[in-house]
Structures are given as structure tokens and as C-alpha cells.
Amino acid sequence: MAGVQAVFYREMLMLIRRIGGLGYLFSGLLFPMIYLLAFGWGLGESVAVAGGYIAYLAKGMLAITVMMNAFQQTALSVSAARFYYRTFAVLRLSPIHDGAIVLGIALAGTVRALIAAAVVFIAAKLFFGIAILTGPGVLGLVLTAFAFAAFGVAVGLSIKGQEQFSIVINFFITPMTFFCGSFFPITNLPSVVQPIVRFLPLSLTNQLLQATSFVGEAGIAALALVFFMLVIYLYSTYRVHNYSEF
Amino acid sequence: MSVLVEQVTCSRHGQAILYNVSLQIKTGEVLGLLGPNGAGKTTLIRLLAGLARPDSGRIRVFGEDASRRSVTFRSLIGLVPQENTLESELTIEQSMLCTAKLYGIVDARARMEEVCQQFQIGSWRKKYPVKLSGGMKRRAMIARAMLSRPEFLLLDEPSVGLDPDMRQEIWQAVRKLQAMGKTVLLTTHLWKRRRNFVTGLLFCERERSFIRGQPRGYVNRFRQSRRLAWKMPSWRWRLKGGEPGDGRRPSGLLP
């Protein structure tokens, strides 16, 4: 546990320094805020969903913000620490368990993503006057943040160059952004693809954000998200264990 | 025996970097690792630190298998790599405190003060690496590696970027480590300056073999090996105490 604290402390110190630069926080927020404002103002009246489209969209933007910030910033940070700053070796050399390294970095990524989500939440409240969070929603955001931060560790350690990062973004992150129920309900998709999309991690987050209790599908979504999180955590630990400077 | 390397082969992109290398390092020994660029010095350092795994063969450090990278193994190793590994977002003090926490040092601040005093890291410890000279960063990295009191210290080109006075300080620090009974493996081109405390030399040749001997034996070897010197002109000039093209007359070790 001391190892996790040490890694988390180090990552948070580095985050505080980076967050001091204004661009760092706002670059992560720009994307969801543009979508929220553009789709909210442009389509708000014409899309019919229970509870109103803007409230629906705001929840979707929260899910996207958490996913993007947790994954992208963690993956970039880990890969830059490998390729450019060579600082990942400092962690790898220290006598702490591989799982503790992943846990420490992923927890810091979770904090970073939740800070960004808090800003989107405040913006949604300010611009549209909507309160959008429930108990399942908060749990969904925390689990999603951790899972994608751990995924960021795995990707940051797996890619052979920064250019490969765009492959992961194009094949995993972008499709999830648009198909997983952030902009419109999954039921609008063709029935053939619905069963696949329903169990993608971001769909599970959106299900939890739209739910008011853990009864029924929301409970299954929470369990599926926990399962996904554990699988990713174990894979990231495996990647740390097999870390090589070659 | 503190370090045992047995028939280690390591390749990258299908090209052998080290081939069937075997060597032993005794506890308390300060071993110099010499060789031209691309001979595999840094690869050997990385393998010994557990930052890479060999294709075949075995490396044991104080009985711990380097390939397994156990927590015990990592607590024995201190590494100062060639490149700067100080975190750009942390001050030197923060970096050292973080490292102390990572190594589970109980009184981290007291230990940091002790090491800072030992390596003369003064008020500039509050600065970020970007504000420091290459020599200062180098010194901070060595001090940081010393925080955990490693039994086996690997120094990859520790004198790079340092002025002559600072270089002397680094060698003095290595002498201190030697007095403390630590095992040290260091790579450098400027071996003449440290030969009076280095207990042995390892020379990596282009054929990927490692030859071991005493410093004086190597001087004799180089005297007889004009072919080797011809293949590595810049290195030969450094051995003579000068730099290529600096106008100094060759003198000293080589004919």
C-alpha cells in the first residue's frame, strides 16, 4: 500500500505542476464543451428523449470527458515518460510491486479525469441549469475513470512510438465516443449492432449515468464495468511486469 | 560474488548486441566498463538493472535473478543512466523525496538532507531541472540513486557533461562508495582519471566479447593493438588525454 501511495503522490505532484499551465486543463475540456454547446443548442429541440435532450447530452459529455481525460492524458504521460523523458525507468527500478505502479498511476488518472468531469458538470449547470448526477452515475464515472486510466497505462507501455497512439484513438476511442449512447440512445442503432455496443465500456457508463438506481440493467452494467476494470488492471500490471527498455 | 552473468545473449531487431557474455563481479569491486560506441555497454547496464531481459542466459545480482525483477532485486540496484531521468515537473528536492518514498525510506527528508550534503546539492535543490546545468542534473541523479543505499550501483557515463572539478567530485563519490564496500560498475571513456581506484576493467569489443583484466594490462594490450586503435580513432585520442582535433600532441598511454 505504501508503494501505491508513493506512486500516487509522485503522479499528483507532477499533475499539479502541469495543471498550473492553463492549456492542460482546458484542452481536455474543449472537445466535450464544444459538443455540449453545439449539439445542445443545435439539436436540443428536435431530439426526443426522456428527461430532455440537453440533460441526456450533458450526461453523455460527462462520460466522454472522463474517458478522454483518463485514457489520453495517462497514455500520453506514460508513453512520454518512456520515449522522451525516460522517467518511467525510475518507477520500474523502485522496489514496489508491479500492480502498485499501475494502481498509483491509474488513481492519479482517475483524479485528473474527475476534476475535468467536475468542470463539465459545473458548465452544464451554469449554461443549461441542469443537475445531472445520480448515485449510479457517480459510481459509473469513477469506475470508468479508473478503467480508462489503467488502459492508458497499458497502451502507454505497449505502443512502439507516439504515432501508434492515433491507431488506438481511431479504432477504440472515437467509435466509442459516437456509438455508445453519449449523443443518442443505443436503441436508435440497428438491432444487429446493439448487443455489441451495449457491452462496450462507455455504453455501460452511459447506462449508469442515465439510471436512478442500481436495480435491473444498471446493476448489471455496474458489475460489467467492474469486470472490465479488473481485466484492464491485470493486463496493465502484466505490461509493467514485462516492461523493457528495448 | 555479487554479480554473475552467465552466457547472456541479447539482440534487438534481429541484431545481436551481446553474444554469449559471461562475467563475474566480486562484492566491493569497482569495475570500469570500456568500449567503443555500439559495443553493448549500455545494454549490459540495462540488463544488470533489470530494465531489459536477455534472449538467453542468466544474470544474478546478490543471488537474485535479474529477469524476475523481484522487489528484493530492485532494492539492491542503483542506476544512473546516460540520459537525464529527472522529472521535468518536479524540483530536485521533490524528485528526491518521491524517490525516497518509492524506496520506502522511513525518514525520507533526513536521508535527503544527508545525501544533498554529501553531494553538495545546495539551494538549487528547489529548482526544476530545466533551470540547471548538465553537471548539476548529473550530480542530482547520482545523489538520487544513492538515497536508497544500493548495494550495486550502475553508473553509465557518470562524467558526461561535467567540468573537470565536478568530474573529480564524482570520482571521489565513487571512492566513498568503494570505501563503504559497495559494488560499482561504471562506463566511461575517461578511464585514466579513475584508474587508481578502479579494481578491474572490462573491455567490450566489437565482436561482442567482454575481456577482463587489470588497468595496467589494458595499457599493454592497447600498446600492442594498433589495429584496434586505428578502428577507433576518437576513442584512442581520448585515452591519450586529448580530444580529436584539439591540437594536443599525443602523449602518455599509446604509442
Q: Does B192 touch chain A (CB under 8 A)?
A: no
Q: How far is CA B56 from CA A166, B59, B206, in A?
A: 34, 10, 20
Test A95 with B71 for CB contact under 8 angstroms.
yes
Please report the number of interchain residue pairs, chain A to chain B, with beta-carbon separation below 8 angstroms. 81
State the pLDDT confidence band at B218, using cuts at 50, 70 and 90: low
d(CA B30, CA B32): 7
Test B52 with A91 for CB contact under 8 angstroms.
no
Q: Does B53 touch chain A (CB under 8 A)?
A: yes
Please determine, for the modelled complex, whether the ipTM score is greater than 0.95: no
Residues of A with Cβ-Cβ distance to B89 under 8 angstroms: 13-14, 17-18
Looking at per-residue confidence, does A31 or B196 come out higher? A31
- The 10s digit of each residue's pLDDT in A116-143 is 898 888 888 887 777 778 899 999 999 9
Min Cα distance A241 → chain B (Å) is 8
Test A97 with B71 for CB contact under 8 angstroms.
yes
Test B101 with A246 for CB contact under 8 angstroms.
no
Q: Does B104 touch chain A (CB under 8 A)?
A: yes
Strands B152-156 and B183-187: parallel
Predicted local confidence at residue B153, as pLDDT: 93
Mean pLDDT, to the nearest integer, of B101-129?
90
Q: How many helices (H) and strands (E) does chain A have?
A: 12, 0
d(CA B20, CA B202): 15
Min Cα distance B86 → chain A (Å) is 7
Test B101 with A91 for CB contact under 8 angstroms.
no
Kindly give, in sequence order, each residue whose CB lies less than 8 Å from that of residue B221, ignoring residues fewer than 6 positions away: B203, B213
Q: Is the pLDDT of residue A203 over 80?
A: yes
Residues of A with Cβ-Cβ distance to B52 under 8 angstroms: 244-246
Residues of A with Cβ-Cβ distance to B75 under 8 angstroms: 95
- Dump strand ranges (E) for B138-193: 152-156, 183-187
CB atoms within 10 A of CB A186: 18
Test B99 with A85 for CB contact under 8 angstroms.
no
- The 10s digit of each residue's pLDDT in A46-97 is 777 877 888 888 899 999 999 999 999 899 999 999 888 888 999 999 999 9
Kindly give, in sequence order, each residue whose CB lies less than 8 Å from that of residue A175, ignoring residues fewer than 6 positions away: none
Residues of B with Cβ-Cβ distance to A3 under 8 angstroms: 102, 104
CA dihedral A142, A143, A147, A148 (to 10 degrees): -40
Cell triple for B184: 560499482
d(CA B235, CA B228): 10
Percent of chain A with pLDDT over 90: 52
Test B90 with A14 for CB contact under 8 angstroms.
yes
Strands B200-204 and B30-34: parallel
Predicted local confidence at residue A33, as pLDDT: 80
